[in-house]
Amino acid sequence: MLLSKFTFQSTAIISVQVIQKRGQYGNNVYYFYRNWTEYATGFGDPAKEYWIGMKKKNR
């Protein structure tokens, strides 16, 4: 009987950028009802709910 052992190693680096975070943090249901300027510049608390902003996203 012949047994083979195959090992696969990956050194890939995965980078993830979170642009929006939603959750149950006590904000009212209209928290994300914002105008264009606020969506362009970003708003919220990164530890809770937030939107990173289109200007920051496109850097």
Residue 41 lies in a domain: yes
Q: How far apart are the first and last CA of the chain?
A: 58
Residue 4 lies in a domain: no
Question: What's the number of domains the chain is made of?
Answer: 1
* Residue whose C-alpha is closest to residue 31's, from 48, 47, 19, 18: 48
The tens digit of pLDDT for each residue in 12-37 reads 777 777 788 888 888 888 999 999 99
pLDDT-wise least confident of 3-12, 19-28, 34-43: 3-12
- Tell me the pTM: 0.60
Domain that holds residue 43: 20-57
Place 41 in a pLDDT band, splitting at 50, 70 and 90.
very high
Residue 2 lies in a domain: no
